[in-house]
Amino acid sequence: MSPGLPHARGVLSGSLLSVLSGRRTALPSDEEIHRADPYGDDLQLLLYALYELHYRGFEGTDEELEWNPDLLRVRAAAEATFLRALRDGTSGGDDVQGAVDAMLVEPVGDDGHSVSHYLQREGELWQLREYAALRSLYHLKEADPHLWVVPRLRGRAKAAMVAIEFDEFGAGRAENIHAQLFADLMADLGLDTAYGTYLDAAPAEALATVNLMSLFGLHRSLRGALVGQFTAVEVTSSPGSRRMANALRRAGAGPAAQRFYDEHVEADAVHEQVVRREVVAGLLEDEPQLAPDLVLGIEATAHLEDRLAAHLLASWRDGRTALRAPTGDTAPHETPLPGR
């Protein structure tokens, strides 16, 4: 089932959503899009909604709009704005090994900027629920964006990527698909498991982390960047998942909530080895010129995750919800998420 259309967050997203709902409206010009905040709510929702046309679409939206030339023009302008900001916000270079090695070194302790460390140490159940709600925008379609790179690889890289994806999709068993495991986690936490439920609640920082995968995945020219993004996720997943599993146990979450992260501790420890030794090494062997794109994917992932972490931690340490909600003195536990 397709989700309903989200609420607009500005002129750019508002004009797009009018088109998607069947009303005639003027779409924004390239100049208007290029002037927008690349990390702001308006542009990030614009991109998210355009990308969603390539996933499940929206209820009541014409499926033929997926390849509408006018919408593709808007998407290209928004992507250029977002990609320029990502390149400006990362150091770049072609040292893939150095970028991977940096991710393999776990800090001795919490540096105060890690969400999983915070949740493991002192996170409350309402914060874990918020985190799950925001992450559901990706995890309910986990691994889907990475499938786009498969036809663009060959040899070792392709075989290894498919092997990892096979595992992500439950190794042939629907109940073990990682997206289903996350839905089970959400149900255990009393959240609504319907795809796209929490789009309106998600701040721009959360949308950007999902948009990054779609941006890289939908462009053959950015195949190296998508492999870099995938590498960053797999290399850092296992230790972070262990902390999240501990956080859920400490908060008293049920076994289904714990299972999702327990599964990733084991699975991603294996995936990390495969992605480094076969996917990355195989791609560089075939196409060494893609090294800078691999670095971009790794660094852009860290850049956006850092932005999201800063938003989450600043909100929670101040006792505020990290979700998009009216400002005021209402405590997080007094504004329950859907499904509670």
pLDDT at 334: 46
Helix residue spans in the chain (DSSP H): 11-20, 30-35, 41-52, 69-88, 96-104, 115-122, 125-139, 144-147, 155-168, 178-188, 204-217, 223-251, 255-274, 281-286, 291-317
- Maximal CA-CA distance, the chain: 57
Average pLDDT over residues 245-269: 86
**pLDDT tops 80 at residue 213:** yes
* Tokens at 228, concatenated: 């870099």
Q: Please state, as a whole number, how many other Cβ atoms lie within 10 Å of the Cβ of residue 84.
A: 12
CA distance 306 to 296: 15
Mean model confidence pLDDT for the chain = 92
Burial of 192 (0-12, 13-18, 19+ CB in 10 A): middle
173 pLDDT band, cuts 50/70/90, is very high
Which CATH number does 96-334 carry?
A: 1.20.910.10
Tokens 């101040």 sit at which residue? 318
Q: How far is CA 16 from CA 50, 63, 138, 245, 257, in A?
A: 8, 15, 22, 39, 36
Condensed to tens digits (0 to 9), the pLDDT of residues 85-138 reads 999 999 999 999 999 999 887 765 567 889 999 999 999 999 999 999 999 999
pLDDT number for residue 108: 53
Provide the whole-model pTM.
0.94
Convert the pLDDT of each residue in 62-75 to its tens digit: 999 999 999 999 99
